[in-house]
């Protein structure tokens, strides 16, 4: 009886997700910070409070003009890390049920992406989605044991900088910055599993083991940044949890994947400088962010050719995008008035992604990299 009830619960849960569509967009506005610019008390962002708009809409004022956007969910600056996690916990459950899930954080540098994804893993209040996800996964695994489920979990963490993969769990070798000769070639097998050659993949049994991995990754990242004179906002951070479960009484098997991705800052070229290494970084980011949007739009329009191979990021995530996988994009927004231009760009981009799944006619949702803000001329 317990097994039947459990089956029904999962079925219902997945039906609800299917009804909601496979791509969802959540917007999160961070609070004003003391370091935000002059005039920061002026409210450029407001949240409509009518019945139908509450929690789903955001207004941005620019030069006296109001721009309104609606998403699946809008988090105001008061939203806690816990409030945000509650809204994604069903996606974590999906991964345990055998789905492939990607959760992205998109937005300009300083908008709150890393806070949302990682936060402070050591703080019970401020820890972000990654530490909370791990806690839920290990707790749920415990309770599913009673129903005969046995799960194995594997974690990897990498960063993509200038279209090059860097393993965050192997330690950073400054004497051989170019990956110490490692290739990190991406391959997908016939079962839809992704293998990255040479990448460290760690079996994990408890969330405390993962905490130490998170610390190691953070350290590798910051050493890399200092020694290579890179800016941490210029790379994509990809956290991957692979879950394989087998039910010993029913012999049912599941293979889920959960990717949590802190994307490189989406700000435009003029802000980040335009020569030498910075130019190279910006071009690499533009290439991968525009590839990501090209892939999302091609999938939404059910196009025959989906350009996964145009960037490392989309190729790496190929099996986890499209099909019956589930994608959630956070668009992070800063309330600082000096960021209004960037915020408007981010919200417009996210609104196009959102339109992909609510059935707006194709001509309104169509976006090629050439007409998007992502391609920089
Ligand atoms: P990004 O990763 O997009 O560059 P961060 O996550 O580093 O941005 O956020 C920039 C600053 O704002 C950090 O000091 C961070 O702690 C703070 N911050 C971001 N979001 C929030 C939030 N929701 N509540 C409190 N502080 C936040
Ligand atoms: Mg960041």
Between the CA of 266 and the centroid of ligand 1 the distance, in Å, is 15
Helix or strand (DSSP H, E) at 94 = helix 81-96
* 3-class DSSP assignment, residue 106: strand
| Structure token digits, residue 335 | 């309330």
Give the pLDDT score at 179. 59
Residue 15, annotated as binding a ligand: no
Q: What is the per-residue pLDDT across 2-19, written as a single tens digit (0 to 9) for each?
A: 667 667 666 665 555 454
Give, using CA atoms, the residue closest to atom 16 of ligand 1: 115
Does the pTM surpass 0.90? The reply is: no
The β-bridge partners of 322 are: none
Q: What is the ipTM of this complex?
A: 0.99
* 3-class DSSP assignment, residue 43: coil
Stretches in the chain below the pLDDT threshold 70 = 1-3, 5-6, 8-21, 38-41, 171-181, 224-232, 269-274, 356-377
Q: What is the per-residue pLDDT across 170-217, written as a single tens digit (0 to 9) for each?
A: 865 555 555 566 778 999 988 888 999 989 999 998 888 888 899 888
Residue 110, annotated as binding a ligand: yes
Which residues contact ligand 1 via a Cβ below 6 A? 30-31, 33, 107, 109-115, 233, 332
Nearest partner of 292 among 267, 258, 266, judged by Cα = 266
The distance of Cα 51 from the centroid of its chain, to the nearest Å, equals 29
Nearest partner of 99 among 109, 107, 91, judged by Cα = 91
Atom of ligand 1 minimally distant from the CA of 33 = 12
Give, using CA atoms, the residue closest to atom 17 of ligand 1: 112
- Other Cβ atoms less than 10 A from the Cβ of 353: the count is 24
Between the CA of 75 and the centroid of ligand 1 the distance, in Å, is 14
């Amino acid at each position: 009886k317990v097994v039947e009830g459990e089956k029904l619960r999962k079925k219902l849960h997945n039906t609800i997700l299917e009804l909601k569509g496979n791509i969802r967009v959540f917007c999160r506005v961070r609070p004003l910070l003391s370091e935000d610019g002059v005039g920061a008390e002026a409210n450029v962002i407001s949240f409509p409070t009518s019945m139908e708009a509450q929690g789903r809409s955001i207004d941005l004022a620019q030069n006296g003009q109001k721009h309104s956007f609606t998403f699946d969910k809008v988090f105001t600056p008061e939203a806690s890390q816990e409030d945000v996690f509650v809204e994604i916990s069903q996606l974590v459950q999906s991964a345990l049920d055998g789905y492939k899930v990607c959760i992205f954080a998109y937005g300009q540098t300083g908008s709150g992406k890393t806070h949302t994804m990682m936060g402070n893993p050591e703080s019970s209040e401020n820890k972000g989605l990654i530490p909370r996800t791990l806690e839920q996964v290990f707790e749920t695994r415990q309770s599913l044991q009673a129903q005969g489920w046995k799960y194995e979990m594997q974690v990897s963490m990498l960063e993509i900088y200038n279209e090059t993969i860097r393993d965050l769990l192997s330690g950073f070798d400054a004497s051989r910055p170019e990956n110490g000769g490692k290739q990190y070639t991406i391959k997908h097998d016939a079962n839809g599993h992704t293998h990255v050659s040479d990448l460290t993949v760690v079996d994990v049994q408890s969330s405390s083991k993962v905490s130490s991995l998170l610390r190691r990754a953070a350290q590798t990242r910051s050493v890399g940044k200092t020694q290579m004179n890179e800016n941490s906002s210029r790379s994509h951070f990809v956290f991957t949890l692979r879950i394989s479960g087998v039910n010993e009484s029913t012999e049912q098997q599941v293979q889920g994947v959960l990717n949590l991705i802190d994307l490189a800052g989406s700000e435009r070229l003029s802000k980040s400088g335009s020569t030498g290494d910075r130019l190279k970084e910006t071009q690499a980011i533009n290439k991968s962010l525009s590839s990501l949007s090209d892939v999302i739009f091609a999938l939404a329009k059910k196009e025959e050719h989906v350009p996964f191979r145009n960037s490392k990021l989309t190729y790496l995530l190929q099996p986890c995008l499209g099909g019956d996988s589930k994608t959630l994009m956070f668009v992070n927004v800063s309330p600082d008035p000096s960021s209004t231009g960037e915020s408007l760009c981010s919200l417009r981009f996210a609104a196009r992604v959102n339109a992909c799944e609510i059935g707006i006619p194709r001509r309104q949702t169509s976006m090629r990299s050439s007409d998007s803000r992502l391609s920089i001329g």
